[in-house]
Amino acid sequence: MMEHLPALIIAIPLLGAFAAPLFKRHHKAVSIWAILITGITLIVSLLLTREVLVKGILVYVFGAKSPTLVLPSGYKVPIRIMFEVDALGAFMAISATLMSFVGALYSYSHVAHESGLEKYYSLLLLLEVGILGMVLTGDLFNLFVFMEIAGISGAALVGFRSYRGEASEAGIKYLIISAVASLMVLFSVALLYGEYGNLNLAYIAKNIKFGVVDLIAFGLLFTSFAMKCGAVPMHYWVPDAYTEIPAGGNPPLLVATYANLYALFRVSFTLFTNIVINISRAGWIMVILGVLTMFIGVTMALVQKDVKRLMSYHAISQTGYMLLGVGVGLTVLHDPSKLMEFGRDAIAGGLFHVINHIIYKSLLLMTAGALFYVTGTRNLDNMGGLARKMPITTISFMIGAAAISGLPPFNGFASKLIIYETSYMLNPILTVFAMVTSILTLASFVKVFASAFLGPPLKKYENVKEVPKPMLIAMIILAALCVIFGLFPKIILDKLIYPAADALINYLQYHSWGGLA
């Protein structure tokens, strides 16, 4: 049972996704089914993480007992489909399952009045499958397949409100970006296959040589994943997609974006560090990309009037922090003294920011969804005085806004502080940019708070009430996590984040199971 966890974590939501259409015309039933399935998957992912943290890297082979089993002819390469779960993959799996659960819970009320709910929940669960596959697989081609699953179901979710033309517009933008990015991934997978005759990540990482073809493949993979995780200059799909998706789909879509960030880290650390002596150059590219992303994202957010669009630009800006943190670690990866001094902490800070950002940005987008639910508009100019009517939403919003602006004692502060400290060691200018971005973030959230929640109560919203309970529970869970992660960052860092950072740094560990030849 326990050894089959990596297969179960994919199989359960897949079953859920394809069984969901059976509940056609039973809207309550299909919502409960989705909540149940995502809940079970969350438990499975927690068990899986415990296994990985205790026993080290878990290699699961489909169709054989052990990964080192070879062909009868004695041809010694791994030929089977493999899942390889290390601490980083497990960490991402927890984020994905937690957010899918919260998203399904929130959707119970948020999309209750829409039609075609069985398709909505099918897509939501398929999106979860795609993310989980991306972060757990040990095979390059599987990475492409799961990336496409996540891309297709994500785009279909973005265009779910098909009666709105804008939804289709955002959906096709997201789909074209994701199709082009994953085709380029496939192209570089083919390049690597042509060179090494295998698709296994561990095998290629072990046998990789320094060559032009490798560099081309690395460049293509880096660009495609950066494109899909919303880094500048390919960020323009992010605000459209995040705005048009129903708010319950926002948490999984956020994680889908960061699954691409995970793939970016995976290829730069595990696959290519072994050969690229000048990996610090790639690290600097990542750092500069991060600074640009955070700064351009926040400046575009300042002028927005649509509340969800404003928050989506902040999502771009926060992605910059993660790139900055992990990029700082990548620049000093081959320098052991600097790595111990600040590189390891930088990577940990970047990864910690991934989960923190997923939590508070989902919370904020859900409060925006709650505002849309009661007022029917997303324009900040048409809102006002809602604090008295919706106290719990208001408090959740305040917690999320404080967390994203990096105010103590919330979780955003914990990870941002690590990023400030470590990027200062590399170059003080980076820290200046990061702090200015943080201040601008606070400024724009004060604006949202003032125009949506404060002010005199408007006549047209006299009869609005607090949103239904499932939405409130979903928001309260995330708000509580914001506070817990902010108050006890040490526990989270030691239990979850540092093992994940070490999994990136000790790239040789990834093929320690043999990798065959």
Partner 1 sequence: MNSVLVNLPFIVVAILLAIGFYTIGFKRNLIKIIIGVEILEGAVNMFIVALGYVKGGYAPIYTQAPSGAIENMVLPTPQALTLTSIVIGVAVTALMLAFAVNIYKTYGTLDVSKVRRLRG
Whether 458 contacts 384, CB under 8 Å: yes
Query: Going by C-beta distance under 8 Å and a sequence separation of 6 or more, which residues neighbour residue 230?
Result: 237, 238, 257, 293, 315, 316, 319
Nearer to partner 1, 145 or 476 (CB): 145
Binders of partner 1 among residues 129 to 188 (CB under 8 A) are 141, 144-145, 148, 151-152, 155-156, 159, 162, 164-166, 168-172, 175-176, 179-180, 183, 186-187
Binders of partner 1 among residues 243 to 282 (CB under 8 A) are 243-244
Sign of the Cα pseudo-torsion (88, 92, 94, 97, in order): negative
What single-letter amino acid sits at 38?
T
| Choices 239-247, 371-379, 380-388, 439-447 (CB under 8 A): range interacting with partner 1 | 239-247
Whole-angstrom distance, CA of residue 342 vs CA of residue 480:
30
Helix and strand numbers (H, E) in the chain are 20, 2
Whole-angstrom distance, CA of residue 26 vs CA of residue 84:
38
| Distance in Å, CB of 141 to partner 1, minimum | 6
Contact code string over 383-422 relative to partner 1, x by CB under 8 A: ----------------------------------------
Nearer to partner 1, 60 or 193 (CB): 193
DSSP per position, 16-58 = HHHHGGGGTT-HHHHHHHHHHHHHHHHHHHHHHHHHHHHH--E
Mapping DSSP onto H, E and C, the string for 235-252 reads: CCHHHHHHHHCCHHHHHH
Q: Of the candidates 63, 55, 47, 128, which has an alpha carbon nearest to the alpha carbon of residue 86?
A: 55
Nearer to partner 1, 192 or 496 (CB): 192
Contact code string over 296-325 relative to partner 1, x by CB under 8 A: -------xxxx--x----------------
Binders of partner 1 among residues 324 to 383 (CB under 8 A) are none
Nearer to partner 1, 86 or 148 (CB): 148
| Distance in Å, CB of 191 to partner 1, minimum | 9
Contact code string over 196-225 relative to partner 1, x by CB under 8 A: -x-x--------------------------
Residues forming contacts to partner 1 in the complex (CB under 8 A) are 141, 144-145, 148, 151-152, 155-156, 159, 162, 164-166, 168-172, 175-176, 179-180, 183, 186-187, 190, 193-194, 197, 199, 239-240, 243-244, 303-306, 309
